[in-house]
Amino acid sequence: MSHDYSKLIEELSRGHRSRVILSKILEVCKDSVLDLSRRNITIKVVIKANCLRTALENIYKEHDLYLRTIAASDERSREGFFKLYYVFGIDNEGTNLVFEVPVVEGVKVDTISDLFRASDWYELEAHDLLGIEFNGKQMSRLVLPEDWPENLYPLRKEVSVEELKKMYQPQLVSRVSELEVEEVVRIPIGPYHPALHEPEYFELYVRGEKVVDARYVGFMVHRGIEKLAESMKYDQVPFLAERICGICGFVHSTSYVQAVEDALGIEVPERAHFIRSIVLEVERLHSHLLWLGVALHLLGYDTGFMHAWRIREKVMVLAELLTGSRKTYGIDLVGGVKKDIDKDKIPKIKETLNVLKKEFKELVEVATSVPQVKARLTGTGILPRGEARAYSLVGPTARGSGLARDVRKDYTYAAYHYVSFKVPVYTEGDNLARTLVRIDEVFESISIIEQLVDMMPGGPIKAERWEPQPMRLGIGAVEAPRGEVIHVVLTDLYGPYRWRVRAPTYQNLQAVPIMLKGVDLADAPLTIASIDPCFSCTDRAVIINLRSGSVKMLPIEAISRRVCRNG
Amino acid sequence: MEALTILLSLLFTSVLAFLPPLLDGIERKIRAKIQSRFGPPTFLQTWYDLLKLGVKELKIPLSGESAAFLVMLSLIITLIALYAVVYVALTLSINIDFIVLAMLLVLVAASHSLGLVASATTSNPFALIGSYRNILLTILNELGLVIGSVLSILLGLRLVTNYSILTLATYLLSLAVLIVATYVSSGRLPFDIHEAEPELASGTIIEFSGKILGFYIYAHLLARYVLSLLVAVAITAPFTAVFSPISAVFPATLLLSACVYLAYGVVATLLGRTRVDIGVRTLFMYYLLVLIVLVIFTWIGI
Amino acid sequence: MVKFLKMLSISVREGTATRKYPFESPLVTPEFRGKIEVDPVKCVGCGACTRICPPKALTIGHEGDEIVLKYFEGRCIFCGMCAYVCPQKAIAISKEFELATWELGDLYDEVVHTTIKCRICGKPFTTVKFVKEIEKRIDNKVPEDLLTVCPECRKKLTARKIGSKVVGVSGE
């Protein structure tokens, strides 16, 4: 293609930043760009695999560009190749920049993990689940267990859900290893530990009391949700999405329906937007209160934990009153919501919020005055701003390190453009900064709900009708309590063709080893908890361990090299 | 008279030996109330727990026989220490038997060290983390315990006969030291770091289970009570009647010991867990400061 | 510094926040979604609920000469979509959630419908009530001869009608 691109760029750009970035891409890759288009806030560049790396090398230094997710999809039956969708965001302008890269089966793609460190896990995942090969990096298993059979790629269309279900057999994973006790002791935390809420495995290499290195092995709760949704209908998937996470389900179902609405251009009535925003903020309240309780518990201050959850109970009752359930709200549908907020509930909302404001302020005052809490939060688990940017971190983890990134402001959705609120940012980057970000967000959420409730418009709560079209790309992003949740949907006639879920913990976990270096062992659990990890959100595949037949157990007793003997 | 005091001490010791788990049950209920919840269904819950542990099978980890033996030894020594402190409380007067007081301190220190050695014999590297923290803290703390108990009891008794502002000030200061030292020794928040962190594989206690764990917990609660009674003795020392061989304030001392125990429990509820380096540093600074002031007071007094 | 002592006054003010659950009733708001109840009178056996049910707790199928709508409480996620889509508003959402039982059979609820047989091939194809409901709802009446014909036979009939119009072949 050798057109004059400047007119096209002018047409497609949404502002100065996208113009600059698009020009840079086209400067180096004009012959490999197969298509350029824009819809709403998403600019799509269809580019050949051989020029992707060159294009990104030219723009990766742009400071407001960050990698949000990479979705890999098997479109061989429709178009003849695999597709990789690289979704970037241009902050401050609120533009999505999507690179659609067709990949012929068997051809390797150049890795970009040295340019955008956040892409490391996405490339490994694409390899695990679809068999796409990458040049220039070491491939290893990430989301599938180590003894998963070769050449069985679960997300390829020829592998059916029934086939995968047949392979299910629970087994334990183990590694019996020798410990070097002289210099460095390796302390495994997980995967099945009575103190953990979800299976996770952190290896902390300690010298004395200081952590020198850390390693994370996860994906033990991989349940195959993305594959399952491909056999479901549009209005059934929100209920599946809600169960991705045990705390933040509503953000996933809202993100999904927003992605479908974006793909098909569905007009959602204003009242539905308001209801969704109110429920999203209620969810943020309960999640932050939960986190505060857990953080105080990790510091040993159990009284604070109990009181934080006592306050949280009021939010749970409010959620049940508004939606019908304490956690799995079940009100999202494509095109709107299915439950209205009646007028007589509004006084109850306001009353709960007032009580909440008072009690939460009291709790924060008391908790931060406990000497141990302050002393242990300050100066531990530091995450420098440069690292936060390099890893494309999101949510309070990034905002505690000085990056003012919030989907509600940058890529605004639902009813957030009607309300005014601050995005709290702290620059120290330690555990205390992240705590304060979350505390401030609670007060902001309360103010947002009050504003929304006051200006709620009338009208229907769901779009009358909408038509599904095949193979449209939609992106839905929502600011969850933990960070940005982004869903990428490729539509089909009755349900999604491909659904890609990226939860914030997926992005944030990659930075935990950096935060843990140099931290005292006693502060390690708190540092891990300060990113507010939600492993269920992160791991979305199936616990399948089979064919190789090797039974591996991970007993903590094995580490002590002794065997219990009956006395 | 001598035989009577010994008999009375034995009698009270055997009764008071059953008290610590009951006090622990009350402490749990109080903690629950502060945390806005119900807590255990009865005050006797800790006794039920100990009895339940007592009927479980005996399992000793391979290198744990020495630890189990040391736990039992520590329990016996703590019981003897209880007798010693009851005797001191019973005969508290200006003619106090110094030998018994000295014996008491030796016994308390011995039970602590036995506990430390017991926890250090484990081969579990995670438990060792907790043991080392405990050793560090206890070594530092014994200093405060000895200075505090000796000074506060002696000065408290001296206040009965020659009262002076300086003696009062020194008495109060040493009482403060004793209170802090016994609090740290009781292994409550913020100083329960001997159990390492909740997310890691725990500290010393994880090595025990069943009967041994029951005895360990009972010995621990008993040691806490012994120290609370010691504090009560130090507090009531200035009020003891001058002449009778059996101290007239003994009932008050007993009551006060329960109050001190529960007061420590309430304080523990309101604080978080300290980190080992911060805790040791704070404690060290505190003792150093107090030591300097005490030296100054002594110099002024002389 | 000693602000943390305020915690004591907070606990005194709040009292006990927990409920002794099995001995006290659970805290459930009026909006709570529990298990569903299908009204056997209103239900016509159309199967709309079974098509939307995400975990497939509601299933419908032929059992001999009857069509049975089965509701398995064990799989239900209490989303309420069945009540939302039912054209007859036959599904009510109750507040019951204490459903644990020792007998698996207790968790199954059924609504049984009698079927209507196809006048051509004799196979039962839909429920009597569904046919009556369709009759009621459609203003210009469905031709009598098509109302009691199963989908297979109707395809054949329609094809013959078209064929007869185009080619002039006479048919039934």
| Alpha helices for B201-249 (secondary structure H) | 210-236
Which DSSP helix (H) or strand (E) runs through B6? Answer: helix B2-16
A325 contacts on C by Cβ (under 8 Å): 32-33, 78
Task: List, for residues B14-30, the tens digit of each pLDDT value.
Answer: 999 999 999 999 999 99
Q: Supply A417's token pair.
A: 């453009």
Task: List, for residues A437-473, the tens digit of each pLDDT value.
Answer: 999 999 999 999 999 999 999 999 999 889 999 999 9
Task: List, for residues A354-392, the tens digit of each pLDDT value.
Answer: 999 999 999 999 998 888 888 888 888 888 888 888 888
Mutate to test the interface with A, among B133, B267, B269, B275 (most CBs of A within 10 A): B275
- Please determine, for residue A197, whether its predicted confidence score (pLDDT) is greater than 80: no
Of the candidates A453, A444, A441, A442, the residue with the CA atom closest to the CA atom of residue A415? A453
- Please determine, for residue A3, whether its predicted confidence score (pLDDT) is greater than 60: no
Give buried/exposed letters for A251-261 (b at 16+ CB in 10 A, else e): bbbbbbbbbbb
A362 contacts on C by Cβ (under 8 Å): 6, 10
Confidence of residue A2 (pLDDT cuts 50, 70, 90): very low
Of the candidates A253, A223, A270, the residue with the CA atom closest to the CA atom of residue A487? A253
pLDDT, position A187 = 64
CATH label, C31-167, candidates 3.60.15.10, 3.30.70.20, 3.40.190.10, 3.10.20.30: 3.30.70.20
Is residue A505, in this structure, part of any structural domain at all? Answer: yes
A296 contacts on B by Cβ (under 8 Å): 272
Domain of residue A521, CATH code: 1.10.645.10
- Which range of A533-537, B212-216, B274-278 scores highest in mean pLDDT? It is B212-216
Of the candidates B139, B154, B153, B217, the residue with the CA atom closest to the CA atom of residue B185? B139
C14 contacts on A by Cβ (under 8 Å): 310
Is residue A475, in this structure, part of any structural domain at all? Answer: yes
Is residue C128 packed enough to be buried (19+ CB in 10 Å), middle (13-18) or exposed (0-12)? middle
Instruction: For residues B78-102, give the mean pLDDT.
Output: 86
Verify that A105 and A232 share a domain, yes or no: no
The residue ranges of every structural domain in chain C are 31-167
Domain boundary among A108, A143, A178: A143
User: Coil, helix or strand for A475?
Assistant: strand
Q: Supply A405's token pair.
A: 């990134």
pLDDT, position A565 = 32
Cβ contact A366–C4 (<8 Å): yes
B63 contacts on A by Cβ (under 8 Å): 562
List all residues 6 or more positions away from B163 whose beta carbon is below 8 Å from its beta carbon: none
Q: Supply C131's token pair.
A: 């046919």
Q: Supply A547's token pair.
A: 């064919």
User: Coil, helix or strand for C76?
Assistant: coil
pLDDT, position B256 = 94
pLDDT, position A149 = 78
For residues A552 and B119, what is the distance between their CA atoms, to the nearest angstrom? 31
DSSP string, B32-76: HHHTTS--SSSTTHHHHHHHHHHTSPPEE-GGGHHHHHHHHHHHH
Confidence of residue B244 (pLDDT cuts 50, 70, 90): low
What's the total number of domains in chain A?
A: 2
Mutate to test the interface with A, among B30, B200, B209 (most CBs of A within 10 A): B200
pLDDT, position A298 = 83
Angle between helices B45-54 and B210-236 (to 10 degrees): 140
Of the candidates C137, C144, C8, the residue with the CA atom closest to the CA atom of residue A307? C8
Of the candidates A104, A98, A99, the residue with the CA atom closest to the CA atom of residue A80? A104
Confidence of residue A545 (pLDDT cuts 50, 70, 90): very low
Verify that A134 and A268 share a domain, yes or no: no
**Rg, C-alpha atoms of chain C:** 26
Residue pair A468/A492 in contact (Cβ under 8 Å)? The answer is: yes
* Number of A–C residue contacts, CB under 8 Å: 71
Nearest CA-CA distance, residue B28 and chain C, Å = 15
Instruction: For residues A505-523, give the mean pLDDT.
Output: 79
Quick one: what percent of chain A has pLDDT higher than 70? 87
Provide the Cα torsion A493, A459, A94, A438; round to 10°: -110
> Which stretches in chain C have pLDDT values below 50?
172
Confidence of residue B197 (pLDDT cuts 50, 70, 90): low
- Please tell me which of the candidates B37, B269, B271 has its beta carbon nearest to residue C16: B37
Verify that A271 and A387 share a domain, yes or no: yes
Query: pTM, whole model, 2 decimals?
Result: 0.85
Confidence of residue A173 (pLDDT cuts 50, 70, 90): very low
Is residue A558, in this structure, part of any structural domain at all? Answer: no
Residue pair A128/A144 in contact (Cβ under 8 Å)? The answer is: yes
Instruction: For residues A394-400, give the mean pLDDT.
Output: 90
List all residues 6 or more positions away from B244 whose beta carbon is below 8 Å from its beta carbon: B93
Domain of residue A127, CATH code: 3.30.460.80
Confidence of residue A30 (pLDDT cuts 50, 70, 90): confident
For residues B176 and B172, what is the distance between their CA atoms, to the nearest angstrom? 6
What ipTM describes this predicted complex? 0.88
Instruction: For residues A493-519, give the mean pLDDT.
Output: 85
- Please tell me which of the candidates C7, C11, C20 has its beta carbon nearest to residue B38: C20
Which DSSP helix (H) or strand (E) runs through A22? Answer: helix A16-29
C17 contacts on A by Cβ (under 8 Å): 310, 313
For residues A287 and A440, what is the distance between their CA atoms, to the nearest angstrom? 13
Which residues of B sit within 8 Å Cβ distance of C?
33-38, 266, 269-271
Cβ contact B36–C7 (<8 Å): no
Task: List, for residues B122-143, the tens digit of each pLDDT value.
Answer: 777 667 777 888 888 888 899 8
Is residue A171, in this structure, part of any structural domain at all? Answer: no
Half-sphere exposure of A162 (CA within 13 A, CB side): 0
- Please tell me which of the candidates A373, A523, A564 has its beta carbon nearest to residue B59: A564
- Please determine, for residue A540, whether its predicted confidence score (pLDDT) is greater than 90: no
Residue pair C93/C87 in contact (Cβ under 8 Å)? The answer is: no
A313 contacts on C by Cβ (under 8 Å): 17
More confident site: A174 or A95: A95
Cβ contact A185–B61 (<8 Å): no
Q: Is B38 on the interface with A (CB under 8 A)?
A: no
The identity of residue B148, as a single letter, is G
The identity of residue B106, as a single letter, is V
Task: List, for residues B179-195, the tens digit of each pLDDT value.
Answer: 999 999 988 888 877 66
DSSP string, A188-227: EE-SS-TT-SS--EEEEEEETTEEEEEEEE--TT---HHH
Residue pair B171/B149 in contact (Cβ under 8 Å)? The answer is: no
Of the candidates A104, A107, A139, A112, the residue with the CA atom closest to the CA atom of residue A125? A139
Range of the domain at A120: 5-143
Nearest CA in chain C to B29: C16
β-partners of residue C108 are C72
More confident site: A3 or A170: A3
For residues A298 and A525, what is the distance between their CA atoms, to the nearest angstrom? 7
pLDDT, position C23 = 87
For residues A396 and A511, what is the distance between their CA atoms, to the nearest angstrom? 13
DSSP string, A514-560: HHHTT-BGGGHHHHHHHT---HHHH--S-----TT-------HHHHT
The identity of residue A545, as a single letter, is N
Residue positions counted in chain C: 172
Cis peptide before A191, with omega less than 30 degrees from 0?
yes
Is residue A476, in this structure, part of any structural domain at all? Answer: yes
DSSP state of A268: P
List all residues 6 or more positions away from A237 whose beta carbon is below 8 Å from its beta carbon: A229, A256, A495, A496, A499
Cβ contact A179–B193 (<8 Å): no
Is residue A205, in this structure, part of any structural domain at all? Answer: no
For residues A384 and A406, what is the distance between their CA atoms, to the nearest angstrom? 18
Provide the Cα torsion B108, B109, B113, B115; round to 10°: 20
- Please determine, for residue B201, whether its predicted confidence score (pLDDT) is greater than 60: no
- Please determine, for residue A218, whether its predicted confidence score (pLDDT) is greater than 90: no
Q: C 30-49 residues with CB below 8 A of A?
A: 30-33
Half-sphere exposure of B29 (CA within 13 A, CB side): 13
Cβ contact C16–B271 (<8 Å): no
Domain boundary among A143, A172, A191: A143
A312 contacts on B by Cβ (under 8 Å): none
DSSP state of C55: T
What's the gap between Cα A502 and its chain centre?
5
Task: List, for residues A410-438, the tens digit of each pLDDT value.
Answer: 888 999 999 999 999 999 988 899 999 99
For residues A23 and B179, what is the distance between their CA atoms, to the nearest angstrom? 73
Quick one: what percent of chain A has pLDDT higher than 90? 36
User: Coil, helix or strand for A343?
Assistant: helix
Strands, DSSP E only, in chain C? Answer: 36-38, 58-63, 66-72, 91-93, 108-117, 124-127
